[in-house]
A and B are shown apart, each in its own frame.
Chain A
Amino acid sequence: MENLHRARIMIEDEGALPFKDLHPHVAQMRVKEGSKIRNLVGYALTYMKSEGTGQIIFGAYGRAVTKAITCAEILKRQVNGLHQITKIQYTSLQEVWEQKGPVIKNPAPCLTVYKNCPSIYILLSKSPLDPQEDGYQPPQNPPSGETGKRSLESHGSSDSKKRKTNVSTEGRIEETCTNIGGAAIAQETPYFQKI
């Protein structure tokens, strides 16, 4: 294991989205672990302000799901009246690990690991969505005033559905992927930023 490095990751059915009746010009943001929130939200804001029937999808898997939710929450706060549908599912990943160091002649030893990673897809839309759909959230009450980037206090007080958990954010997140087949070495696999 020490002599291997992750060469590439392949996602099965990458183009497939769990939403029906999408606008043809929907923007899809693939949020990765190293993505900068300001880049993602900056693009999403200009997109939402330019398009008439703006629909945007934040998709992420693994450790990036938190970032995708944060992006969606910030965007909802900045753009009023957004309908939201949240979908969670497993994404099948296929990782190929290759030998580190000087390249050895063929056959190049490589190891393929199949993983099921929890993933999230958040659809935000200016046009109304189907309220019967699972994971639908209607637009929130508009915040009373915008005094800057961090003027988020008004959002919390008006949110009646807000729930809080007593969770310390310290400590290492556990790798919660499950193996389908292949080698059973994926439990301790570190995530790299290069994807």
Chain B
Amino acid sequence: MAEQTSLGDGPPSHRRRPAPRPPRGPNDIYVNTKTDFRAQLSRCRRLLESGEQKELRVHGLGLAIGRAINLALQLQLALPDTLLLSASTSTVELTDDMEPEGGEDGEPGTRNRNNSAIHIRVYRAHEE
């Protein structure tokens, strides 16, 4: 956490753009680290128990990967039906905006970096 809070130290400070939002359907759950975990869990439970969705896709990026895994596993424990989990990983490209400060050469640039993501398909065993 230390390197993230000391943004003002280096001369070209940067600002992180929010990750690009893909189109999402009703069964896509994007896990973040800010929302209450129980709220996320109950939202997934409601979706699965209502029977509208046959499968959920739980996505997590970066620090939220651990939460996404925990969410999927807790869902598997919480529901009476047998749920199967199928995980896949990917790389997401993120963009940072470089902000020139303090009379440096005033050229705003961008920098790309990569972050890891996980996508977990949660589905009922007999409906496969």
Contacts and interface: CB of A to CB of B under 8 A. Distances in A.
A176 B67 contact: yes
B66 A167 contact: no
Given A69-B118, A164-B61, A169 B66 contact: no
A86 B58 CA distance: 14
A148 interface: no
A168 interface: yes
A54 interface: no
A84 interface: yes
A154 B128 CA distance: 34
Contact of A118 (B19, B69, B88, B91): B69
Contacts of B33: 167-169, 171, 173-174
Interface in A116-150: 118-120, 122, 134-137
A180 to B, nearest CB: 12
Nearest to B90: A162
A2 interface: no
A187 B118 CA distance: 24
Contacts, number: 147
A31 to B, nearest CB: 12
B98 to A, nearest CB: 16
A35 interface: no
Given A134-B84, A152-B91, A170-B4, A164 B21 contact: yes
A156 B63 contact: no
B66 A65 contact: yes
A166 B62 contact: no
A88 B112 contact: no
Given A134-B85, A165-B32, A176 B66 contact: yes
A143 B122 CA distance: 30
Contacts of A171: 33-34, 63
A163 interface: yes
B4 A122 contact: no
For the complex of A and B, the 10 pairs showing the least CB-CB separation, nearest first, are A86-B87, A69-B116, A165-B61, A165-B30, A176-B70, A134-B86, A118-B69, A156-B93, A169-B62, A167-B32
Interface of B: 1, 4-5, 16, 18-22, 28, 30-34, 37, 59-67, 69-70, 72-74, 84-93, 112, 114-120
Given A69-B89, A171-B33, 6 more contacts: A120-B87, A159-B91, A163-B119, A166-B19, A166-B21, A171-B63
20 contacts: A65-B69, A66-B66, A69-B89, A84-B89, A88-B85, A119-B69, A120-B118, A135-B86, A137-B89, A153-B112, A156-B93, A163-B92, A163-B117, A164-B22, A165-B32, A167-B19, A167-B64, A169-B63, A171-B33, A178-B74
Interface of A: 62-63, 65-66, 69-70, 72-73, 77, 84, 86-90, 118-120, 122, 134-137, 152-153, 155-156, 159, 161-174, 176, 178
